[in-house]
Structure 1
Amino acid sequence: MTSAFVMAAVVVAGFGLQFAMGRSTLAAPPLVHLHAIVFMGWVAIYVAQNWLAATGHLEGHKTLGWVASVWAIAMVVLGILVTVLMVRRGGAPFFFQPAYFLVMNPASILTFAALTGAAIVNRRRTAWHKRLHFCGMAVLLGPAIGRLLPMPLLIPHAGEWVFAVLILFPFAGMLADRRRQGRVHRAWFYGLGAITAMMVAINLVTFSPVGAALYEVVTAGAPGAAVDPYAFPLPPPMG
């Protein structure tokens, strides 16, 4: 349960810091606000599920689990829609190439969905269930981690740095297994493998003809079409 609170704290710290520094405002399209509410809702669900399981409230855990499965579907849809909206508007973060951002976000949310789906399928195998959910939640930490790192200083490898920090969470779980049980559960290797495959796929697709074609299709007729998909955008003006 402690790990769930740590993950929630990372999310709150990442987004809270940006808001406190004036880098995030409420002046965003309604779809972005809905996306934020739903994704923060998942953090609350994840913490609640860990608490329910740890305190023996298994019926509540099961009931909320079915709500969570529908919630995750909404997250996939909203995650992709918001990414498309931002890229079409030419609004990718300046520390990511627009084509990279377009591939990275959907790949991340689909990896989260795959790990979460695997956890649901293995809901009767508690050891697998909780570890796969943990890995899925770790994937969602990417945006919060990026808001805590000095991303402008990490160009052109900002994405790789986020990945490097993100995988520390599954590694911490593996170390905890080793310390408590004397061995590492196999579920960690599947979760870590999925996260690593995600990162490799993001780079392979982005810098391939598929990535270029995808960007062209998504931005057709929008301001984003005039943006070089492989050039880092200019940072926002200071002050």
Structure 2
Amino acid sequence: MATQAGAGLSAVDREHRFFFITACLMALVLVAGFSTNIIFGRSSFGAPLIFHVHAFVFFGWVVLYLMQTGLVATGSVRLHRRLGWLAVGWIPAMVVLGCAMTIFSVRQTGGPFFFDKNEFLLGNSLGIASFAGLAVAAIAMRRRTDWHRRLMSGAMVTLTGPGFGRLLPMPLMIPWSWWSAAVLAPALFLLAGIVADLRRAGRVHPAWWWGLAVLAGSQLVADAIAYSPMGHALTERVTAGAPGAARPMRAFLP
């Protein structure tokens, strides 16, 4: 029966359903990851204010993205377009808070012990920049809906790294912890889009390749900077005079 129901959907309807399902899965990764932190006592509601503001803004984006994909899937395109303008103000707020939270974490603790301190600082910063770049490109191409939905999905993919980082056994993945959580695991959603396009249309939309290029390319650039003398000096300057300065630059097992 499920197969017959799926076969009765048009190609456009199947595509809309795909984006809504993947949006739900990405949200699940993030919710599960951060819930695990609370369950195991690695985080609490007594954290500094910046944690709560950061969580509100970033999970607000997740809710907005879920709503937007759901509205398109149910045919409420007009409301989708109206709500879409919220992203214009939301994206800059996420960039500012994402960078501020990264600097705060590096200064306070040096970042998670299973990431190199310099890679965490630069990778997180360029990661949020890659999110903003893909999201802005998606908004600019909103009239070309095939590009718009794939670029926006790619932007959302870049945000799933923190969720995967809390679900995967990061200490066991040293020295590849950062790439495992920030690139390889999130890329599975982009690969799912590629496979879905091949099954649905027999070809891959180029927006997926752009998403993969930005996801991996931003981290390659981040590493090139992070492991250069400039990257080391920048990390030391950011942590100077703070508790994070005492943490080794390299990932380590406590």
Q: Same fold (TM over 0.5)?
A: yes
Matching of residue 149 in structure 1 with residue 149 in structure 2 = no
Contact 2:134 2:155 in 1 (8 A): yes
Q: TM-score, structure 2 length as denominator?
A: 0.88
Contact 1:100 1:203 in 2 (8 A): yes
Structure 2 residue aligned with 1:178? 198
2:233 to 201, 213, 220: 213
CA offset digits 1:88-131 (Å, max 9, x no partner)? 12341010111111111111100000000110010000000000
Structure 1 residue aligned with 2:100? 81
Q: Which amino acid aligns with 1:20?
A: I
2:207 and 2:112 map into 1 onto residues whose CA distance is: 33
Structure 2 residue aligned with 1:130? 149
Aligned residue pairs: how many? 234
Contact 2:110 2:239 in 1 (8 A): no
Contact 2:95 2:129 in 1 (8 A): yes
Q: Which amino acid aligns with 2:180?
A: W
- Percent identical across equivalent pairs? 48
SS at match of 1:89: helix
Contact 1:88 1:222 in 2 (8 A): yes
1:132 and 1:106 map into 2 onto residues whose CA distance is: 20
Matching of residue 191 in structure 1 with residue 211 in structure 2 = yes
How far 1:233 moved relative to its partner? 5.1
1:90 and 1:17 map into 2 onto residues whose CA distance is: 20
Matching of residue 41 in structure 1 with residue 60 in structure 2 = yes
Contact 1:95 1:232 in 2 (8 A): yes
Could you tell me which runs of 5 or more consecutive residues in structure 2 were left unpaired when the two chains were aligned: 1-19
2:65 and 2:221 map into 1 onto residues whose CA distance is: 27
Structure 2 residue aligned with 1:117? 136
2:113 and 2:45 map into 1 onto residues whose CA distance is: 20
Could you tell me which runs of 5 or more consecutive residues in structure 1 were left unpaired when the two chains were aligned: none
Contact 1:10 1:141 in 2 (8 A): yes
The within-5 A match list for 1:13-24 is 13-24=32-43
1:50 to 61, 69, 75: 69
Stretch moving more, 213-222 or 131-140: 213-222
Aligned-residue RMSD, C-alpha: 1.3
Structure 1 residue aligned with 2:158? 139
Q: Which amino acid aligns with 2:99?
A: I
Matching of residue 29 in structure 1 with residue 64 in structure 2 = no
2:31 and 2:75 map into 1 onto residues whose CA distance is: 27
How far 1:18 moved relative to its partner? 2.1
Matching of residue 168 in structure 1 with residue 185 in structure 2 = no
Q: TM-score, structure 1 length as denominator?
A: 0.93
Stretch moving more, 177-186 or 66-75: 66-75
Structure 2 residue aligned with 1:64? 83
Stretch moving more, 59-68 or 78-87: 59-68
How far 1:234 moved relative to its partner? 5.3
